[in-house]
Amino acid sequence: METVLNFVYNNILSILMIVLLITGGAFLTIKTQALQFRRFGYSFRSTLGTLFDKSLHTKQKGSVSPFQAVTTALAGTIGTGSIAGIATALVAGGPGAVFWMWISALLGMITKYSEIVLSVHYREKNQAGEWVGGPMYYIKKGLKSKWLAFTFALFAMIACFGIGNTTQSNAISGVIQSSLNVPTWITGLVTMAIVALVTLGGIKRIASVNEKIVPAMAIFYILCAIVVLVIKFDKIPQAFALIFKEAFNLKSAFGGVAGYGILTAMRFGVGRGVFTNEAGLGSAPIAHSATSETDPVKQGWWGMFEVFVTTIIICTISALVILTSDAYAGIYQAVDMAPTLNGAALSSKAFNEAIPHVGEYGVAIATVFFSLSTILGWAYYGEVCVGYIFSKHRKVSVLIYRLVFVAFIFLGAVAKIEIVWLVADCCNVLMAVPNLVALFALAGMVKKLTDKHFEKKDSLLDDHALNN
């Protein structure tokens, strides 16, 4: 099974994913007249500029605040991909993978914006009176395709147990075992208890916890990385030069035939890019749909913000920490040998090299909180998908899902889960395909809602000018 899935994913699904993500992002960029670049300043004034705005933290019955929706979505994206994912991309795809990760993020900004705009526009209230939305709702109502909507919800539900659950709990138990020598089964039980206490309280409790965890962990990790980069400041220009050089190098980082270097860098750059920001997967819009914000475009700006923060900022500084380290330099020069370090271990050694002991434990702490927040974010995604699939028996099916989801945390903590990663990767592609098809088809609606937003904004500005 593992051999078959490896072949299918590496030779078919991963290539399909890259083609759809790049062409989809390019199409939406053209359709919206490069909105992510034209309105870059406005989008950040509408996000970062409103952090202390009272309305951002105000919620209504059956919803969460716009900021809680954002942090829940960020919780699902800022996970092990920001630490282990970027390291595996650098080892397997070379430094050039970072360049292609940037390209995928710039296109992903408009992709994620479009997903959120459509999700908020087509969302509806469930039996509990809560706002629910996501690709299955805009596929059903916008494309009028119930079977395609069901397909997305099914694959998204399955993916939740892999990419958003077992892989994350495995990262937590692994890093705690290596740093503190705590048995994986103990970590698994503790993680189960924490997640159960939060998820059994539903979206409002998940959002409340993530609202506190996500900003704190992001700031902590960024500060640790900045300290390392200050120490290794003289090596940063060389790291950037290596990124641009290897992005178009005809020979791969570890040897290979002509053309293999570029293709490998693209594959791992785009692949890890979407793993870190989820643009195109259709998962994050599920969290954004629970917001009390009624303007789809206002919530959509936060999608651009998420991609920029997770990929352009966090993943870039993670990559620079590794590229400026002697640990990576040794691997990169050994062209005829398999890398001795990879994933979180490589990131940990790079941090520890600049900040002995502190770096190692800093990466461990960041991994634990990044992974825990990801579990909580994906727990909600799966819950909405289950509620959609079993809408007639929503209450019972969601309760069963929560119990099974919590049980899988322990399984991930104690098991070797290479096969789970493969299944999750395949499901990620399979849930992305119907979502990207819908984005192509509903691009006109995205443009219409965006134009309507700015028409209203310009009208308010004209009224303000007249009154003054």
pLDDT at 373 over 80: yes
pLDDT band at 76; cut points 50, 70, 90: low
Rounded to whole angstroms, how far apart are CA atoms 260 and 316?
23
- pLDDT tens digits, one per residue of 115-128: 999 999 999 988 77
- pLDDT tens digits, one per residue of 165-205: 888 888 788 778 877 788 888 989 999 998 888 887 766 67
CATH number for position 328: 1.20.1730
Mean pLDDT of the chain, nearest integer: 81
3-state secondary structure of 32: coil
* Chain CA centroid to CA 235, Å: 29
Quickly list H helices, 280-357: 284-288, 296-307, 316-323, 326-333, 343-354
Supply angle C-alpha 251, 257, 259, rounded to 5. Answer: 60
- Is residue 468 domain-resident? no
- pLDDT tens digits, one per residue of 84-96: 677 777 777 778 8
Asked if 83 contacts 225 with a C-beta cutoff of 8 angstroms, the reply is: no
**How many domains are there within the chain?**
1
pLDDT at 455 over 90: no
Rounded to whole angstroms, how far apart are CA atoms 225 and 219?
10
- Is residue 382 domain-resident? yes
Rounded to whole angstroms, how far apart are CA atoms 222 and 383?
31
pLDDT at 29 over 50: yes
- Is residue 65 domain-resident? no
- Is residue 64 domain-resident? no
pLDDT band at 240; cut points 50, 70, 90: very high
Supply angle C-alpha 360, 364, 366, rounded to 5. Answer: 115
- State the residue range of the domain holding 116: 2-50+70-461
Asked if 329 contacts 337 with a C-beta cutoff of 8 angstroms, the reply is: no
For residue 435, give every residue at least 6 positions away whose Cβ sits within 8 Å of its Cβ, in sequence order, or none.
115, 135, 139, 152, 280, 281, 282
Rounded to whole angstroms, what are the CA distances from 260 to 31, 94, 250, 332?
Answer: 32, 11, 7, 16
- Is residue 63 domain-resident? no
- Is residue 59 domain-resident? no
- Is residue 58 domain-resident? no
- Is residue 55 domain-resident? no
